[in-house]
Amino acid sequence: MSTPNPTESLDSEREHTRTGMSKAALKQDFLDNLFYIQGRFREVATPHDLYMAAAFTTRDRLLKRWVESAQVFKTSHARTVCYLSAEYLLGPHLAGNLVNLGITEAAREVGEELGLDLDAILEEEEEPGLGNGGLGRLAACFMESLSTCQIPAIGYGIRYEFGIFDQAIEDGWQVEKTDNWLRNGNPWEIPRPKIRFSVGYGGYTESYRDDKGRSRQRWQPSLVINGMAYDTPILGYGTANANLLRLWKAEAPASFDFQAFNTGDYYGAVYANIQAETISKVLYPNDEPEAGKELRLKQQYFFVSCSMQDMVRLHLNTVGPLETFADKFVAQLNDTHPALAVAELMRLLLDEHVMSWEQAWDITHRTFCYTNHTLLPEALETWSVSLFERLLPRHLEIVYEINRRFLDEVRMRFLGDEARVWRMSLIAEGGERRVRMANLAVVGSRAVNGVAELHSELVKATLFKDFAELWPERFHNVTNGVTPRRFMVVANPRLSKLITRTCGHEDWIRDLERLRELEAHVDDAGFQEAWRAVKHAAKQDLAAWMQQASGVRLDPESLFDVQAKRFHEYKRQHLKVLHIIRCYQRLKQGQPQDLVPRAFIFGGKAAPGYFMAKLMIKLINAVGAVVNNDPQVNGWIRVAFLPDFNVKNGQRLYPAADLSEQISLAGKEASGTGNMKFSMNGALTIGTLDGANVEIREAVGAENFFLFGMTAAEALQRQMTGYRPWELYQNDPELKSDIDLINSGLFSHGDTQLFRPLTDNLVNHDPFMVLADYRDYLDCQKMVSETYKDTERWTRMSILNVARIGRFSSDRAIREYAEHIWKVTPRLIDPASGGDS
Ligand SMILES: *Cc1c(COP(=O)(O)O)cnc(C)c1O
């Protein structure tokens, strides 16, 4: 043995401890973090201390990869994707990061050596709920896949102090509890006090001549606040690439305090401080835009302004002249929430960097791409011109000028078609004038995409018909996907191990199409048996968890029939309720012949102000209270509501589902991603031809999918020729008796009025055509039951669903964006060389 220089030995030892991947290094770092960061030793550590130490130990290893990635991206001037999203529904970090680092087993064994249970530590993590549902979860899947696909990227968003509310169920009703997720500290983020930008609001604009005699505009805001960056590293799977999620927190600028202090207005200063901080205080808990909510517009401008200023700063620091901005960056708008970025980049280039309009527009227009997420008219964002002008007077001028030039182009192309000009304008006229954010996003972007084939076709045929006629080459489809790391490897370790064992490799985790290799084993009785055992174990886990979370006992032998997603009339949770009531009535009438024992499981939050959605939750729990307590039926059917559906609880649900309910009215669900997560975990789908259901059915085979209901075209046709739900109600005795049973008060302690708003709406209006699809849905459910009785057939269908689901990986979606929309290529970070590639 040589005797090394003691200083050197210490350094290499340290290096090893903080970044090494051996069990010894992990264990030492864990104990060090427990001691030096949490100030505890093993014997007195609380579960939270243990979680924090595990998180810091994992983070140490992330940081190494992240810093190396950042160096390579910077020195190589790599083209970079900036994903702009008002929401990121990340889910717990620890388990995902362990998987992507490849140290889950090592961490488990280190835990055992220390007498600790890794699963208990993972349970401690409170997830950052910085999103409402599908859209925010998509952004989180995309960030993970961007890293896995080795594409340089920055995710920009808002560091909400309070995320989506926690849902409790009291007396069957949803009760919202504030989500104080930062209360115990967030070990995954790194505050960047030196990365701060000012953001202005209000005031006025003025014209002036600059020192070169050019006529220019100046914005004098009446309020200026600061945005400070908080960075979270996002690691890819099986790669050293890590990207950056940069979230902005609003705060009062320091100078503000001084001024007030000098004038003795102490309370005024504190108040201004609070005022500023409210901007990133809370996530709006609604899937749809909040009509006229000033704070919401402030939030949007806040994060967009910080993000665009940051991109300009990065460009000037690395590449240099702003003329090449659109070569360095592509910015993806996740829905219209960040559409103000178009006007903000124009403002920065025109007013702060003295560019001509033509050049600024050329850069801006080449920078942005826009993803549309909905066709529902109530979900299309518009802002009244008066509010817009009061908050963002300079941006309104810019929007007007974009519009003036754009409408001239339209007039030139479609001579004399003023109706078209009217429809395409960025400003809706007639009544209160409003800024149409979707039109701004389309005009300001070089590519526009929908999120599933059907949706993208409907985008071109309906919502943006005029735009697709003007710029057909601008419109694309990129079908959504989800990350198999979280929704298979983390959520369903048993299934993942079975797949790995059967295929003989783990490559399917990064190349999900390789799940096809399972097809060769579909008839293998031993494999089928193992497949069923995996599902059964997941159902037992869920049943145990449900018992303590909701008090409902579920029988793992029964068919787990699950619908978990935000509550919305278009998603038609009430259609599933009608099926439960039908089963209940048939059991009461002694006709259980073609039923199988079923657990009807629901999960999902309702927007706090969405009365009908909350009434649907109450109805489910009310039906459950009757069914679950009726010994005549409760051996056959059970109803369970999983409270607080979020990413963490979703991970318990997807692996345990036999049947996935994707029953929206065709034409209404843009894509859906829950449908993909269920299918990846071996659930069969009962669904309409809506969103990505269409493509899932094509992929897994029509014979392995339970299809029912009208097509989008049929639904539209029927709406146009006069849809009369009350005739359906009158003419179908079973439908009538199901609805009448709700109105009878059976589920509401004799109150015949409680559910009237819901049943009256169904019978008289039924905007989402529940009654039109009722009969077909029941018939299809009968097929589901019959198929479930044939265990072997069901197992085969389940295996084939997983084997053929590969294209719904978000890796595939990201590669499509990279190739067709972003024109960006992967940059490999080589861990061995310390970063250079
Ligand atoms: C995937 C997911 C969704 C989206 O579900 P859909 O069925 O596509 O609407 C919503 N919420 C959470 C927590 C999710 O994980």
- What residue ranges do the domains of the chain occupy? 24-76+93-125, 77-92+127-445, 491-814
Closest ligand 1 atom number to CA of residue 649: 13
Give the pLDDT band (50/70/90) at residue 255. Answer: low
673 among known catalytic residues: yes
- Give the distance (Å) from ligand 1 centre to CA of residue 293: 25
Q: Are 206 and 215 in contact (CB under 8 A)?
A: no
Q: Whole-angstrom Cα distance, residue 215 to residue 192? A: 37
- Give the distance (Å) from ligand 1 centre to CA of residue 729: 32
Give the pLDDT band (50/70/90) at residue 370. Answer: very high
- Give the distance (Å) from ligand 1 centre to CA of residue 714: 27
**Mean confidence (pLDDT) of the chain:** 94
- Which of 342, 314, 338, 341 lies closest to 328, judged by CA? 314
Residue 547 vs residue 274, higher pLDDT: 547
Q: Whole-angstrom Cα distance, residue 164 to residue 645? A: 11
Sequence-separated (6 or more) residues with CB below 8 Å from residue 330: 79, 80, 81, 82, 367, 368, 369, 821, 822, 823, 824
390 among known catalytic residues: no
Q: pLDDT at position 834, please?
A: 44
Pairing of strands 223-235, 242-251: antiparallel
Q: pLDDT at position 274, please?
A: 80
Q: Which ranges in 263-293 belong to alpha helices (H)?
A: 266-277
Q: Whole-angstrom Cα distance, residue 334 to residue 155? A: 11
Domains 77-92+127-445 and 491-814 share a fold: yes
Task: Single out the catalytic residue among 420, 485, 535, 565.
Answer: 565
Q: pLDDT at position 438, please?
A: 98
Tell me the mean pLDDT in the region 62-72.
Answer: 92
Closest ligand 1 atom number to CA of residue 132: 11
- Give the distance (Å) from ligand 1 centre to CA of residue 655: 14
Best probe residue, ligand 1, of 88, 566, 602, 665 (max atoms within 8 Å of C-beta)? 566
Q: pLDDT at position 594, please?
A: 82
565 among known catalytic residues: yes
Closest-CA residue, ligand 1 atom 5, reads 674
75 pLDDT more than 70: yes
Give the pLDDT band (50/70/90) at residue 8. Answer: very low
Q: pLDDT at position 829, please?
A: 84
Residues at CB less than 6 angstroms from ligand 1: 89, 133-134, 137, 565-566, 645-647, 650, 672-674, 677
Q: Are 758 and 619 in contact (CB under 8 A)?
A: yes
Q: Whole-angstrom Cα distance, residue 614 to residue 619? A: 9
Give the pLDDT band (50/70/90) at residue 263. Answer: low
Give the pLDDT band (50/70/90) at residue 547. Answer: very high
Q: How far apart are the first and last CA of the chain?
A: 35
615 pLDDT more than 90: yes
4 pLDDT more than 50: no
Ramachandran quadrant class, 95 (left: phi over 0; alpha: psi -120 to 50; beta: rest):
alpha
Q: pLDDT at position 830, please?
A: 77
Distances (CA, A) of 591 to 468, 584, 596, 636: 54, 10, 12, 12
Q: Whole-angstrom Cα distance, residue 715 to residue 720? A: 9
Closest-CA residue, ligand 1 atom 1, reads 674
425-481 per-position pLDDT tens digit = 999 998 999 999 999 999 999 999 999 999 999 999 999 999 999 999 999 999 999
Q: Whole-angstrom Cα distance, residue 86 to residue 284? A: 10
Give the pLDDT band (50/70/90) at residue 12. Answer: low
Query: Sign of the CA dihedral 501, 503, 508, 512?
Result: negative
654-693 per-position pLDDT tens digit = 999 999 999 999 999 999 999 999 999 999 999 999 999 9
Best probe residue, ligand 1, of 137, 374, 480 (max atoms within 8 Å of C-beta)? 137
Tell me the mean pLDDT in the region 692-698.
Answer: 98
Closest-CA residue, ligand 1 atom 13, reads 646
725-744 per-position pLDDT tens digit = 999 999 999 999 999 999 99
- Give the distance (Å) from ligand 1 centre to CA of residue 130: 13
pTM of the full structure: 0.96
* Residue recorded with tokens 């979606």: 813
273 pLDDT more than 90: no
13 pLDDT more than 60: no
571 among known catalytic residues: yes
- Give the distance (Å) from ligand 1 centre to CA of residue 700: 21
Q: pLDDT at position 538, please?
A: 98
Give the pLDDT band (50/70/90) at residue 568. Answer: very high
Class of domain 491-814: alpha beta
576 among known catalytic residues: no
CATH of domain 77-92+127-445: 3.40.50.2000
Q: pLDDT at position 2, please?
A: 43
361 pLDDT more than 50: yes
